[in-house]
């Protein structure tokens, strides 16, 4: 299944440019960038699901 990442809000700068061990930032590309979007979506979904369970 494909995901349209254009429907999601822009990620934060820290998310797309993680800090490396040498103190420099590296811009995520390709699969790494998509994984960052997916990780954020899963975390947001978990928060939403917890709120939904409490309301029910």
Q: How far apart are the first and last CA of the chain?
A: 30
Q: What span, in angstroms and rounded, lies between the C-alpha atoms of 8 and 49?
A: 18
Domain boundaries, the chain: 28-56
- The residues, ordered by sequence, that sit 6+ positions from 36 with a Cβ below 8 Å of its Cβ are 11, 15, 16, 28
Q: Is the pLDDT of residue 56 over 80?
A: no
Predicted confidence (pLDDT) per residue in 3-55, tens digit: 676 776 777 777 778 888 898 888 888 898 888 888 888 888 898 899 888 87
Q: What span, in angstroms and rounded, lies between the C-alpha atoms of 3 and 47?
A: 20
pLDDT of residue 5: 66
């Amino acid at each position: 299944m494909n995901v349209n990442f254009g429907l999601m809000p822009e990620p934060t700068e820290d998310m797309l440019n993680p800090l490396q061990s040498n103190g420099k930032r590296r811009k995520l590309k390709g699969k790494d960038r998509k994984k960052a979007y997916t990780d954020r979506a899963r975390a947001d979904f978990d928060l939403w699901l917890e709120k939904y369970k409490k309301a029910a």
